[in-house]
Amino acid sequence: MGRAERELVASGTRLNTAACDVVADHGRAVEAVRAALTPLHDAAAQRELDVLPVARLQDVTEGRLRLDHVEQSGLRTVGEVLAAGAYRLRQLPGVGRRTADQMLAAARSLSDAVHETVAVHIDVDRPEPGTTALVMALHTLVEAGPDAVRAVARATGTAKRLEPLLAAAGPATGRLRMLLAGREKKARALAAVTELRSLLADAERAGLSELFAQSSVDLLRGPSSDLAAWADFELRSAEYYGLLAEISEQRPDTAAAEGFLPDEIAERVRAQRLDDTHRRVSLRGYQAFGARFVLAQRKTILGDEMGLGKTIQAIAVLAHLAAEGQRHFVVVCPASVLVNWTREVAARSALRVTLLHGPDRHKAFADWKGRGGVAVTTFDALRGFPEPGSGEVGLFVVDEAHSVKNPKTKRSQAVARWAERCERTLFMTGTPMENRVVEFRNLVGMLHSGVAESLAEGDGASAGRDGALAGSVAFRKAVAPVYLRRNQQDVLTELPSLQRTDEWEELSASDEEAYREAVQAGNFPAMRRAAYQRPERSAKLERLREIVEEAAENGQKTLVFSYFKDVLRVVQDALADRVTLFGPLTGGVPAGRRQQIVDDFTAAPGPAVLLAQIQTAGVGLNMQAASVVVICEPQIKPTVEHQAVGRAHRMGQVRPVRVHRLLATGGVDERLVKMLENKTRLFDAYARRSAVAEATPDAVDVSDTDLARRIVEDEQARLGMADGRPAAEPA
């Protein structure tokens, strides 16, 4: 007893201090958010109360209050009643102490309800000191990321174990202390030393000291400026709002977040543990529930509405299974989202990802078989791979699963065979399949024959308006073991947010040929629109159709922007027989007619698509009717994109706006994005805060001609055709 034990206790004390520090640092960061949020939340609640008619007090008291004298006195809102207080209310004719007390009690009840439900909206277009303070406080936690949350959880558990062990091991740090200790204390000290040694060895293997130290640094490091925090918020608003909802404890209705599942299934899902060791993204509550549902139910359909993060939920499941020791996973999806899947898995998890596509796909398949990870492939390519053995694939994910609803197609048959051989299968689709029970039944049949049999062929549209099973409580109960769907309005607690997605597509062979011709000619505008020159084989056009059709299935309106008139004509032809079209809005359309087109688009019942030149419709027109925006190609001036998106994402928008920017890998789009992305954050943040910059966006953009020349020269060199031919001027 002595030196070795003293060093052991000292090491334990240092680890305990680091653990307590990271918990305290995280607590201070959370309190900073709450301190910034409270005045904004109170102000938002007050605004609600200031427009809430005093007549609503009748609702709280079931009509017992007489309010004639109150309204005649000029107190017209609940907020004014609260501000008046008991003394002033009793001065009103016909209002005694009892009535005044009842009025105030009813008003306070309404005030409490408003405070519970009102949400704070962070307006990027009108930054104020209060919202800036909130964004900066949130920025610290968003930047610290899931690692900090993980560190706090580990630190809390570590400190809880360490503190009693350090106290019990005290006598073992010196011979005299051990001599003076009683028999019972000596025994406890020796046992504590043994357990402490084991705990510290485990902590060293897990790198807890480094994790705690790095997390404390991250939690103490604030944004470099409010400009940087606002720019980051605009890029990652969903993460900020998710964190804000968690800290403010304003969560969606539990039943809605859990897809209105029966209690017995919901309880089983809640009990499912979710390991985040290999995950690099935080989950919202409903997303964590979705991942647990997939794990608990094993073979499922995740039907969340577009924009709720089905891909992130799938990655959370993959990460959990990898932590449990599973090594092989397969994702099958349309070719148009292959690149997105590989990028999302790589960015959101620590899992190895392998693309099984193109002429080398069989070689890549052999590599994946040997090394493991997530294999991402297409429906057509899947048919060429050998079906897995029992237990070989930890999770089989099928994205855009409505693509395999017809059991007679070869792709559906291949997916069905794989689903049968995999213990866990996840089908993903944003299409509300409960409106098409026959098709839905086919999908369910691949996963759970018993549930499929409970959905009779005639259910759905043929059942009549009153008896239709589709969308009813009976339908949800029947499919609950397999199917989970949540809608945006049910689970997003914040006011409308802006969600941006870069849709990276691989050019088809036909696209590639058109692109090479444009590069050979040194024609920069032709390079930018080459992906649409041969519509019958256009990868971008195929993805655009999918986005528009899914939005239409969900009853949403879509804006489609392009710089080029001929691209809009191609899109118009491709969508003509699929959705209701308006436009195109181009520079040749008179201003008055432009507004009429927008008005007609807004008034159109149900889903519709408005086509517009981005430089024409990007300013001066309000298009809040649309909640989905597609940008056909990246713009040379980032401000042009932001102004166009701002037509939909502005005051009056009632749904989150999702922006899809269509990009092709390996060519002009990728070079444009790379050259501009570093400038975009600060330029856009500046432009949003300066009236001068807003009026003259060219002041913060790089030279169009210089940019075009550099990209053409780079592409000619990459494709081995540099010949000194001058680049065509930008169109």
Calpha distance 55→77 (Å, rounded): 8
- At 510 the pLDDT is 93
Antiparallel, parallel or unpaired: β 557-562 and 581-585: unpaired
3-state secondary structure of 470: coil
The letter for the amino acid at 447 is L
- What pLDDT is recorded for position 470? 40
Angle at 527 between CA 524 and CA 530, to 5 degrees: 150
Residue with tokens 């042009």: 640
583: left (phi over 0), alpha (psi -120 to 50) or beta: left
Residues facing residue 377 across a β-bridge = 332, 356
3-state secondary structure 561-573: EECCHHHHHHHHH
Question: Which two tokens mark 402?
Answer: 């409505």
C-alpha of 570 from chain center: 31
Helix (H) or strand (E) segment spanning residue 554: none
* Residues across the chain: 731
The residue ranges of every structural domain in the chain are: 1-250, 251-491, 498-718
Asked if 251-491 and 498-718 have one fold, the answer is: yes
- CA-CA distance, 715 to 504, in Å (whole number)? 18
* Homologous superfamily of domain range 251-491: Tandem AAA-ATPase domain (3.40.50.10810)
Q: How far is CA 627 from the centre of its chain?
A: 15
Element (H, E) at 662: strand 657-664
As a whole number of angstroms, the distance between CA 564 and CA 641 comes to: 14
First to last CA, the chain: 83
Q: Residue 592: exposed, middle, or buried by beta-carbon count in 10 A (0-12, 13-18, 19+)?
A: exposed
Residues of the chain with pLDDT under 70: 1-2, 62-64, 125, 174-176, 178-179, 251-252, 431-436, 456-476, 493-496, 591-592, 617-622, 639, 650-654, 676-704, 722-731
* Per-residue pLDDT at 688: 29
Model confidence pLDDT, tens digit, residues 317-363? 999 999 999 999 999 998 878 888 998 999 899 999 999 999 999 99
d(CA 469, CA 458): 10
Query: Which token pair is 40?
Result: 């904004």
Which residues lie across from 373 on neighbouring strands?
328
Question: Residues near 605 by Cβ (< 8 Å), separated by ≥ 6?
Answer: none
**What is residue 102's three-state secondary structure?**
helix
CA 518/CA 287 separation, integer angstroms: 44
- What is the second-level CATH architecture of the domain 498-718? 3-Layer(aba) Sandwich (3.40)
Query: How many C-alpha atoms does 92 have within 13 Å on its Cβ side?
Result: 24
pLDDT in tens, 617-674: 655 566 878 989 999 999 887 767 877 887 787 644 657 789 999 999 989 999 888 8
247 vs 85: CA distance, rounded Å: 32
pLDDT reported for residue 650: 62
| Distance, CA of 634 to CA of 699 (rounded, Å) | 19
Element (H, E) at 329: strand 328-333
pLDDT at 324: 96
Burial (CB count <10 Å: 0-12, 13-18, 19+), residue 666: middle
State what percent of residues in the chain have pLDDT above 90: 49
Dihedral sign, CA of 431, 437, 438, 441? positive
